A = this chain, B = another copy of it.
Amino acid sequence: MTREELIQQIKRKKSFLCIGLDPDLAKIPAHLLKEKDPIFAFNKAIVDTTHDLAVAYKPNTAFYECHGSKGWETLQKTIEYLPKDIFCIADAKRGDIGNTSTYYAKTFFESMNCDAVTVAPYMGEDSVKPFLAFENKWVILLALTSNKGAYDFQLNESKEGKTLYQHVIETSQNWGTEADLMYVVGATKTEQLAHVRSLAPNHFFLVPGVGAQGGTLQEVVQYGWGKDCGLLINSSRGILYASSGFDFAETARIEAQLLQSQMEEILSLKKMI
């Protein structure tokens, strides 16, 4: 998907919501466990009731891999089931030496036809660039993550006075452009969000951490708003597990709608729609 198509979708759906498809057998409604593929049944129901409210879905590979080859099949089926105009992010946090990263890129971009993959920056340029070689596909590079461990290394200051996340954002802009490179920036790090935005004014950010992890939509927009919106705000648990009953999919829709209606208001205020 091109940047232009993503922006058009944001305008059409009046939303910049990404839904994390992180299905956990211990949390999905009990009545689904009798299905042949409970996780696919769960995902399908969530997608059916939310796809007009979200511009992106983000399955995290950990929740599929833990079920072995069957889980990998479920991941593939889920991605195939997504409407074609939806931006699909494989939240895989891969990254390896060049020829190996190419195989990861082929997995998610060719075999699975995802639009984007999250990539870890630790191994540098030749671990990231193979993902950027695919037309209209995106790298979403970890920059400042939403978890507590982000403080261990990402906020380290260099002798030039730059944090590691700054160094990652500045250096990686030599590898990709606003048309194929986004950054992961946690909603829980609002004190740094304005700084991150100043480093990459034109790039989209994938922002996890709203909801269960404690970040708020309003603060993310206040500090993180960018060119053409520039935000994909992810919610996983807050939507997926809003109810564990037979009404889980309808309740997920209510939660998604709550976020979408706030986003519509913001997009209108910002004169995007």
Contact = CB atoms under 8 A, between A and B. Distances in A.
Interface in A147-187: 147-154, 156-159, 161, 164, 167-168, 171
Interface in A1-33: 22
A127 B107 CA distance: 24
B66 A103 contact: yes
A214 interface: no
A106 to B, nearest CB: 5
Nearest to A74: B69
Interface stretch (A90-98, A196-204, A242-250, A253-261): A90-98
A76 interface: yes
A272 interface: no
Most buried by B among A66, A104, A151, A161: A66
Interface string A23-48: 00000000000000000000000000
Query: For chain A, which range describes its interface: under 10, 10 to 19, 20 to 34, or 35 or more residues?
Result: 35 or more
Contacts of A68: 72-73, 76, 107, 111-112
A168 B164 CA distance: 12
Task: In the A-B complex, list the 10 residue pairs whose CB atoms are closest, starting with the nearest.
Answer: A124-B149, A124-B152, A62-B103, A69-B72, A69-B73, A69-B69, A97-B147, A126-B149, A125-B149, A72-B72
30 contacts: A60-B96, A62-B96, A63-B100, A66-B107, A66-B111, A68-B112, A69-B69, A69-B70, A69-B72, A69-B76, A72-B72, A93-B95, A93-B120, A95-B120, A97-B145, A97-B147, A120-B120, A121-B153, A122-B142, A123-B142, A124-B149, A124-B150, A124-B153, A125-B148, A126-B148, A127-B147, A157-B158, A157-B159, A158-B159, A159-B159
Interface of A: 22, 60, 62-63, 65-70, 72-73, 76, 91, 93-98, 100-101, 103-104, 106-107, 111-112, 120-128, 142, 145-154, 156-159, 161, 164, 167-168, 171
